[in-house]
Structure 1
């Protein structure tokens, strides 16, 4: 839970900087050692330009690997998926089939937001929506900053665009998407606050419709464990943020004991 601090310059890597990173210029990657020391990209770049090797302070030096601190990188999985696995099947996953079926049955004037952590998932959803002839628009970390306002404006004002595909990392940033009244979460995220921040883009001042949220998860899979972690985090937050009257405190502490904290 502690901040990540650069071993060389003692600068702190902030989560907000990571999620709002729109840099499109290649820079030297940050470095992380096997002894859990972090060297920021700026210090790594200075070392590289001076011909020095980035190391920790141990002798002999521990192994070092490049890491990305960009929010865009958190959305990418294509480089980890074998090409043959990507092309192995043209059939859409069951989750996406269920999503398309739900979108087909709702009135045509209802706008939807589809949230996912992964751009690859949004790629598959785009393929399914295009096949069904459902107009959609995309907003993720690869959309240039200068084009983001026009993407949001098009979704809010164009009645023909029914669906916006949005990554959670972008959805957590200040957007107003009150034109939508239905939200889909394609998978549970270990951080429930990130989900709540994304859904808050729809539940904002100016929303005139009742908003419905549909959450997808695979039964008897790891996603059920993620949902249990979410519930534990919410209970812990409830204890920390609740009023400190004795009755409420005792109830919350009892909940924590049952949850295993």
Structure 2
């Protein structure tokens, strides 16, 4: 905290960006974006006055999990010159321990800024059966202890949070159709001559998404239309390779948010690639290395900004639309206006919401179409609600959020995970409903933190819905294994038998490739910190 006016500051991005030599000195604090840093890194050799021309006292990387992977953005951030570096994130590990490699590189924590050294000295202990996993845990904690400050919510005075898992059962009709889809998935795995081929992987991703969607929608849509909801239906004019690439990218989206390669903004195409203006929201490169939002794709002339390795001879891939059908409209649900047509899960959620009244509820789902079905069911039961998803403009989202906060008659807000996982304050609610388990536990926790946070005055109850004997049980198991990774960090002296608990996602199955040589070598200072 400082006195008003004690510190000077400026925004350095977009139209506010300094494009020439800075006249005088920079202010005390400069706010910029990862995309701006990456852009200036590419042009820094052209003699332009950029943030790379100065030595900073401190660089604070907010939402630092964005730079957890070895990407051009990480390379640019690492090239900034500063006496101190802070990486601020609530989720330093999202999918594997390898997520730490980008943060250590940013902090210049010698010698573990080099992923090859990190892999040989620590990660190898979690990979091979002959290695001692307890020794690996000890080494990892010794590595993180001097540079990591962990602050759990226990140090903040928050109301209690009760987590409940609600098991839901298929109806007889739903179970019959679900088993048909499940059999198709098994046939791909058992019948393919090359189960690890691109074609088999593409089809597997599609069917796994269909199974997950079916758990939400049940018989509300005919099976042929379910492919529209997965966001994996390619245009018939596209080649097989395009279809495979899109399936991989869409599969990555289902694991959690994907950030634009250029500007690092979250790309939200959970169930449609079309925005409010009917233009595509996202593009991908055929090599699957790069994903761009619509604005950045246009600025890049619809070509990847970096060279790839797909062997097309051109050096840079042309960008292609992530093809999806428009999201399901309300008119398509006219036939399901009665409770008998709602899915078992939708009926269970509506029942729990009504029982919790007059408390307000937030309903999270990865798919907008699933939220639409639940919204119609709530409206049928005379429960007023709002919805926030990627199809709304920023002003429309803010209006919906304001109505939810201020109108006592609106009891529910429905939010897609990718829209509500970061930056929203939903403390007006005290009940949270997670429609389906997410592959990425960090995505769930970030969504829950929109409600259970500073400003919350009432006890919070979370309801996680899980269809019995379905793919959702497998997703929950994988998510639980990833969640155990946080126990490896230096917050407890307990040593858990991770191998016994089936933690197969701790590290990549193959060793990590060495990173590029850091801009500045040497030991990290005592100001290099993960917060």
How far the C-alpha of 1:192 sits from its partner, in A, is 0.9
SS state at 1:13 partner: coil
Q: Does 1:222 align with 2:475?
A: no
The Cα of 1:65 is off from its aligned counterpart by 7.6
**Structure 2 counterpart of 1:131:** 380
- The answer to whether structure 1 residue 159 and structure 2 residue 394 are counterparts is no
Q: How many residues align?
A: 234
Deviation (angstroms), 1:109: 2.2
Q: Distance in 2 between matches of 1:204 and 1:218?
A: 29
Query: Which residue in 2 is equivalent to 1:255?
Result: 498
In the alignment, the residues of structure 1 paired with residue 262 and residue 468 of structure 2 have an alpha-carbon distance, to the nearest angstrom, of: 35
- The gaps in structure 2 that reach 5 residues or longer are 1-67, 74-259, 505-531
**Alpha-carbon shift at residue 208 of structure 1 (Å):** 1.2
Q: Relative to structure 1, is the Cα distance of residues 23 and 88 closer, same or farther in structure 2, using a 3 angstrom cutoff?
A: closer
> Structure 1 residues 226, 67: closer, same or farther in 2, change over 3 A?
farther
Query: What residue in structure 1 maps to residue 350 of structure 2?
Result: 100
Determine if the alignment matches structure 1 residue 112 to structure 2 residue 366. no
Equivalents in 2 of 1:28, 1:156: separation in Å? Answer: 29
Distance 1:228 1:260 in 2: 10
Greater RCO (CA < 8 Å, at least 6 residues apart): 2
Q: CA deviation at 1:23?
A: 7.3
Would you say the 8 A contact 1:140–1:166 is kept in 2?
yes
What residue number does 1:32 align with? 285
What are the ranges of 5 or more consecutive residues in structure 1 without an aligned counterpart? 7-11, 48-53
Pick the structure with greater CA Rg.
Answer: 2
1:230-241 mapped onto 2 (5 Å cutoff): 230-239=479-488, 241=489
Q: TM-score, normalised by structure 2?
A: 0.39
- Aligned CA-pair RMSD: 3.9
Aligned-pair distance for 1:60? Answer: 11
Structure 1 stretches (4+) deviating beyond 3 angstroms? 1-6, 19-29, 35-40, 54-61, 75-79, 86-90
Alignment of 1:65-76 (within 5 A): 66-68=320-322
Quickly say closer, same or farther: Cα 1:39–1:130, change in 2 above 3 A: closer
143 and 59 in structure 1: CA distance in 2 versus 1, 3 angstrom threshold = closer
Cα deviation per residue 1:75-131 (whole Å; 9 max; x = unaligned)?
Answer: 97549xxx99x788660000011111112222x321000111101001101110111
